[in-house]
């Protein structure tokens, strides 16, 4: 499995650029078919998230209840930066050439209506491990819980079926990480490294693990999100990264996770994954359902 994360900015939100973009994204499914039909078994897909800044011009309707730009979160030691992005394309395929071809045609049709802010190609690494060496994605909801965690429901009827989307591009200090003992790494993540067993929260009473900080619980129970993180990198340039991508039914849940990671819980006790991982980007979007997206073209 490969994924391309393409973040673009619309050049001038008052000009014909908006019309061009609206045309292209309303026909996204046709473009997926055009490329995907040539290799049906490769499972090409693309979702597009639309950012707050261009929402009114591009979509025209009122905004999804919680949509706003990514808010920087400044902890004592680490900052979740907010960076520009009007559209995020999440392109997935089992083979890199299909994703490449799709992205090429997509950018060709967008032309000079957009500028590319960021472009990352990620890959599945062994048994779904991140470059820190841990299996990533295990606690993702499955079955009926998946839609319940990622898809807006009757709480915002105009946007039911859609999803909030947050992305961050992290770069790792792999040398420093590899100097830790495996047991220290496991305490930071909250799972064992080789067989991926969850550690008891009590194992890290002082500074909570990533797993614990990213678990949001209240009187309504646990609030999950759906993650599809991908490793990326260029060893020759010392670049080793994780592209974080989270889909949520509620934006506050993803923001709460980020707050607990960067500010810490209790305050000051941040997620130590951040001592080895620096976010270089951060942006927020809303993903419309396919029929809503197609309707934009009318």
**Residues in touch with ligand HEM (CB under 6 A):** 130, 132, 134-139, 168, 170, 189, 191, 210-211, 214-215, 225, 227, 242, 244, 246, 254, 257-258, 273, 277
Nearest to 69 by CA among 54, 59, 48: 54
Q: Give least dist CB 278 to ligand HEM, A.
A: 9
Choosing from 136, 224, 228, 271, which is the catalytic residue?
Answer: 136
DSSP 53-99: GGHHHHT-SPPPTT--PPPPEE-SS-EE-----SEEEEEEESSHHHH
Q: Give least dist CB 227 to ligand HEM, A.
A: 6
Nearest residue (CB) to ligand HEM, 28 versus 214: 214
Contact predicate 272/117, CB 8 Å: no
Helix (H, G, I), strand (E, B), or coil: what is residue 254? helix
Residue reference for tokens 């950018």: 107
Nearest residue (CB) to ligand HEM, 47 versus 185: 185
Per-residue CA distances from 120 to 11, 91, 210 (Å): 21, 10, 24
Nearest residue (CB) to ligand HEM, 32 versus 254: 254
Query: Could you give the CA distance from residue 246 to residue 150 in angstroms, rounded to a whole number?
Result: 9
Nearest residue (CB) to ligand HEM, 99 versus 246: 246
Active site residue 195: no
Contact predicate 190/183, CB 8 Å: no
Q: Measured between alpha carbons, how far apart are the two ends of the chain, in Å?
A: 34
């Amino acid at each position: 499995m490969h994924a391309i994360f393409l973040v673009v900015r619309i050049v001038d939100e008052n000009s014909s650029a908006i019309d061009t973009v609206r045309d292209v994204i309303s026909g996204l499914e046709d473009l997926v078919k055009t490329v995907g039909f040539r290799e049906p078994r490769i499972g090409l897909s693309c979702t597009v998230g639309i950012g707050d800044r261009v929402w009114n011009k591009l979509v025209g309707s009122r905004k999804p209840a919680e949509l706003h730009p990514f808010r920087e979160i400044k902890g004592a030691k680490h900052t979740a930066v907010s960076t520009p992005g009007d559209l995020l394309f999440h392109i997935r395929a089992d083979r890199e050439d299909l994703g490449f071809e799709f992205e090429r045609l997509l950018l060709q049709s967008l032309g000079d209506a957009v500028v590319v802010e960021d472009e990352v190609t990620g890959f599945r690494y062994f048994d779904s491990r991140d470059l820190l060496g841990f299996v990533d994605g295990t606690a993702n909801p499955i079955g009926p819980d998946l839609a319940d965690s990622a898809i807006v429901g009757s709480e915002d009827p105009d946007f039911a079926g859609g999803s909030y989307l947050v992305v961050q591009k992290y770069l790792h200090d792999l040398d420093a990480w590899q100097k830790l003992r495996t047991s220290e790494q496991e305490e930071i993540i909250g799972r064992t490294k080789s067989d991926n067993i969850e550690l008891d929260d009590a194992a890290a009473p002082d500074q909570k693990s990533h797993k614990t900080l990213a678990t949001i619980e209240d009187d309504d129970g646990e609030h999950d999100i759906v993650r599809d993180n991908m490793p990326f990198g260029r060893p020759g340039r010392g670049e080793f990264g994780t592209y974080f991508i989270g889909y949520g039914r509620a934006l506050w849940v993803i923001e709460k996770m980020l707050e607990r990671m960067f500010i810490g819980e209790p305050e000051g006790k941040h997620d130590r994954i951040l001592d080895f991982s620096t976010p270089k980007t951060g942006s927020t979007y809303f993903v419309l359902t396919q029929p809503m997206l197609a309707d934009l073209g009318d």
